[in-house]
Copies of this chain bind each other. A is one copy, B any other.
Amino acid sequence: MTVPSIGTATLTMPFAKALNEGLRAAMTDDDRVLLMGEDIGRLGGVFRVTEGLQAEFGDRRVLDSPLAESGIVGTAIGLAMAGFRSVVEIQFDGFVFPAFDQITSQLAKITNRHEGALSMPVVIRIPYGGHIGAIEHHQESPEAYFTHTPGLRVVSPSTPNDAYWMIQDAVRSSDPVIFLEPKAKYWMKGEVDTAQRAVPLHASRIVRRGTDVTLVGHGAMVSMLLQAAALAEGEGVSCEVIDLRSLSPVDYGPILDSARRTGRMVYAQEAPGFTSLGSEVAATVMERAYFALEAPVLRVSGFDVPFPPAKLEGVYLPDVDRILEAVDRALAY
């Protein structure tokens, strides 16, 4: 897609601020957009992603909801039926589960249940993942629960620029979008081009070109993969790095293309590995790029245990070394 350049407006800002600006833009564009959640109004959210928005748009558009996740998602559905587009904040990943029925049996299926007569433009923002040394329930990576659920779209930005644009695209989508925000990245600064849209919401992005091994991941894993690639280069191994961006649907085209070129792939995620998105991507790539692969797709992930106490998260979470170990193994085939 080539868009005539309309002049750039590139600003440097932290990831959380980019989300904030993206939400502000979405709310300005469309006055049917509402924000809902716990502590998102006066406080601006525990991560300050919605800071200032209640002051700007009023408490009818930025709602400090009662403390009940099923209630928040369930009323967001009713609001969608009344023509609103709600952006729900779940305070932390581990608190999405009380809303699970409303998400999987309702939100995800309502458009289908109505044979298309109703759309469900609800975005569920979930700060997710580890790396912040938090107590239990504050570091989960629940993407697999949602990617397994037909009717949901699931995305995760890894840079401020993507944060800024993807949240707007998610709000514009007529379908429910689970929007996973890597909380490890909230404070990371980066350039945001506010004039020109990045790639489409459901496109993956090659963030580094390489020829020997393809590394795939999303969210906070992307910078980890880039670090690993940089180190591998020092040892003469050329890694291609792909940021999934969209976890459901997965934009398989570029991934398969890359796998066919490099013949090797390592998939990295924070979530436990068993029955995970990594399983899906690995299985599909091995099936579809079967003849082109020189090695099985290797997966690096959280262990199949509950996320451990913070003092062990460094061991639990895949890091550069574990990624490189997998790269070595892939190369050894």
Contact = CB atoms under 8 A, between A and B. Distances in A.
Given A94-B105, A137-B105, A276-B280, A296 B287 contact: yes
A47 B282 CA distance: 39
A283 interface: yes
A152 to B, nearest CB: 11
A278 B144 CA distance: 13
Contacts of A276: 148, 275, 280
A280 B286 CA distance: 12
Interface stretch (A107-115, A125-133, A208-216): A107-115
Interface in A108-148: 108-109, 112-113, 136-137, 144-145, 147-148
Given A137-B105, A279-B280, A97 B94 contact: no
Contacts of A333: 290
B287 A297 contact: yes
B282 A275 contact: no
A13 interface: no
A104 B70 CA distance: 16
A70 B151 CA distance: 24
A50 B278 CA distance: 39
- Specify which of A105, A108, A109, A298 lies most central, judged by the most chain B CB atoms within 10 Å of its CB: A105
Contact of A112 (B101, B112, B271, B306): B306
A20 interface: no
A1 interface: no
Copies of this chain in the oligomer: 2
A11 to B, nearest CB: 36
Contacts of A150: 272, 274, 304-306
Contacts of A94: 105
A204 to B, nearest CB: 16
Contacts of A284: 279
Nearest to A272: B150
A101 B109 contact: no
A91 to B, nearest CB: 14
A113 B136 contact: yes
Contacts of A274: 147-148, 150, 248, 280
Interface string A141-179: 000110110110000000000000000000000000000
B144 A148 contact: yes
Contacts of A290: 295-296, 333
A98 interface: yes
B280 A287 contact: no
A277 interface: yes
Given A100-B100, A108-B306, 4 more contacts: A70-B98, A144-B144, A275-B276, A282-B286
8 contacts: A105-B137, A144-B148, A148-B271, A150-B305, A151-B306, A248-B275, A276-B280, A286-B297
The 3 residue pairs across chains A and B that have the minimum distance between CB atoms: A100-B100, A97-B101, A282-B283
